Amino acid sequence: MMRLDQQQKYIKERDELLTRFLKESMETRKMITVPKEEEQKKKKCFGLFFSFVIVHFACILFSLKFSIHARIKIVHLLAFICIFALYE
């Protein structure tokens, strides 16, 4: 009877420790992932705004009287900058 009580006590303590460890682990994970998600949202917002500006700038360039080769080079440069901003 004593042995059974000791086993039950041991199992209960083990379960409590595991539960506490899992709670602490989840809290730590939240503390790590929330700032990363916020940073990704900021980068995405900046990238979308930058893309919007680049597209409008490219439209303005096409309406001007640059040579076609100059416009193509400028658009390629702007596209490269946009891609770099989105994936950095």
76: CB partners within 8 A, 6+ apart: none
CB 88 within 8 A of CB 43: yes
First vs last Cα of the chain: how many Å apart? 65
Both tokens of residue 68?
Answer: 């076609």
Both tokens of residue 9?
Answer: 């006590």
Q: Tens-of-pLDDT digits for all 88 residues of the chain?
A: 677 788 888 888 988 888 888 888 888 777 777 777 777 777 777 777 777 777 777 777 766 767 777 777 777 777 777 777 666 5
State pTM to two decimals: 0.39
Q: How far apart are CA 44 and CA 71, in angstroms?
A: 27
Domain layout of the chain by residue ranges: 2-87
Amino acid (1-letter code) at residue 28 = T
